[in-house]
């Protein structure tokens, strides 16, 4: 699945607390949906979960509200992973 930043951001805004909890654990349903909305296939599930968990402190900086730079930070986490950057279709920053 490929989504725009707007769609992904709406999802994150709505389920931020659930995503934060699952990102800390390194797995979960909401985290899988975020992976799909970020253009990463099921084959990249483990790599995506590890990348989000490794970047937890920059992605989940606020306890109950999505930080304004969440999408930018998530794209950066994807780009920094060789597997993810090669196999995930990044969301457009303009959309």
Per-residue pLDDT of the chain (95 residues), as tens digits, is: 456 788 999 999 999 999 999 999 999 999 999 999 999 999 999 999 999 999 999 999 988 889 999 999 999 999 999 999 998 886 554 44
Quick one: which of 65, 60, 74 has its CA closest to 25? 60
Q: Which of 14, 1, 21, 8 is nearest to 71 (CA)?
A: 8
The residue among 35, 32, 28 whose CA lies nearest residue 2 is 35
Distance CA 71, CA 60 (A): 11
Q: How many CB atoms lie within 10 A of CB 93?
A: 10
């Amino acid at each position: 699945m490929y989504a725009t930043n707007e769609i992904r951001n709406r999802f994150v805004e709505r389920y931020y607390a659930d995503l934060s909890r699952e990102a800390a654990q390194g797995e979960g349903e909401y985290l899988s949906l975020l992976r799909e909305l970020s253009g990463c296939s099921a084959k990249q599930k483990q790599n995506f979960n590890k990348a989000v968990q490794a970047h937890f402190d920059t992605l989940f900086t606020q306890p109950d509200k999505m930080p304004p730079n969440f999408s930018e930070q998530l794209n950066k986490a994807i780009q920094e992973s060789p597997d993810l950057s090669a196999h995930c279709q990044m969301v457009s920053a303009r959309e």
